[in-house]
Structure 1
Amino acid sequence: MQLQRSSSQDGELQFHYRWQQQGQTVDFSFQLPEQSVQQHLSSFRRYSPQLANTLMRQALQQELGRRNTAGMQVELPPTGSPFPLKVKARRAADARELQQQLTAQLQQARQDYLQQIYHTELRLQPNRQVIMVDHQRILADSLQDLLPVAGALQQKFPYTTTREISQFLLDWLQRIPYQSLNERSQSSAAGFLPPLQLIQQHRGDCDSKVVLMAALLRLLLPDVPLVIVYLPNHAVLGIGMQSQSSDQQLRLDGQNFVLADPTGPALQPVGEITARYHLYLQPGIANYRRL
Structure 2
Amino acid sequence: MSNPKQLFILILLCCVTYNAAAKQLHFSKVEKGDFYQFNYQWEDHHKKAQSISFSLNKSVLFNKFRNFRTYKPKLVARHISNKIMRYLNKNPIENIQIDYDKKAASITVKGSDLALVNDAEEKILTLHDEFTETYLQTNWYHTFTTYDHIQAIKPDHVTFASLSADDLKPMKPLILETVSIQNIRKVTDHVLAFVQSIPYSTLNSRVESSGSGFNPPLKLLWENQGDCDSKVTLTAAILRALMPRIKMVLIFIDNHALIGIDVLAKADEITITLDGTTYLLAEPTGPALLPLGTLNQTSELAIIQGQYTAEKFH
TM-score (norm 1): 0.90
Q: How does 1:276-291 map to 2 (within 5 A)?
A: 276-282=298-304, 285-291=307-313
User: Per-residue displacement from partner, 1:13-50 (whole Å, max 9, x unpaired)?
Assistant: 11121123435321222111122111122222211111
Find the structure with the greater CA-based Rg: 2
Residues 265/138 of structure 1: CA separation in 2 closer, same or farther (3 Å cut): same
CA distance in 1 between partners of 2:151 and 2:143 (Å): 7
Q: How does 1:258-269 map to 2 (within 5 A)?
A: 258-269=280-291
SS of match in other structure, 2:166: coil
CA distance in 1 between partners of 2:271 and 2:248 (Å): 13
The count of corresponding residues between Structure 1 and Structure 2 is 288
SS of match in other structure, 1:114: helix
Residues 5/221 of structure 1: CA separation in 2 closer, same or farther (3 Å cut): same
Residue 203 of structure 2: aligned partner: 181
Residue 38 of structure 2: aligned partner: 15
8 Å Cα contact 2:35/2:58 also seen in 1? yes
Matched, 1:192 2:188: no
Unaligned runs of 5+ in 2: 1-23
CA distance in 2 between partners of 1:17 and 1:282 (Å): 36
Q: How far apart are 1:120 and its partner, in Å?
A: 0.5
CA distance in 1 between partners of 2:304 and 2:99 (Å): 46
Residue 67 of structure 2: aligned partner: 43
CA distance in 2 between partners of 1:126 and 1:182 (Å): 18
Residues 77/272 of structure 1: CA separation in 2 closer, same or farther (3 Å cut): farther
Aligned mate of 1:201, from 223, 246, 249:
223
Q: How far apart are 1:123 and its partner, in Å?
A: 3.0
Root mean square deviation of aligned Cα: 2.3
Matched, 1:72 2:80: no
8 Å Cα contact 2:43/2:193 also seen in 1? no
User: Per-residue displacement from partner, 1:191-218 (whole Å, max 9, x unpaired)?
Assistant: 1111111111100111111111111211
8 Å Cα contact 1:184/1:191 also seen in 2? no
Task: Give the % identical residues.
Answer: 28
Matched, 1:55 2:79: yes
CA distance in 2 between partners of 1:181 and 1:67 (Å): 44
8 Å Cα contact 2:169/2:242 also seen in 1? no
Residue 231 of structure 1: aligned partner: 253
TM-score (norm 2): 0.84
- Residue 19 of structure 1 aligns with an amino acid whose one-letter code is W
8 Å Cα contact 2:180/2:187 also seen in 1? no
The higher-RCO structure (CA 8 Å, 6+ apart) is 2
CA distance in 2 between partners of 1:70 and 1:4 (Å): 64
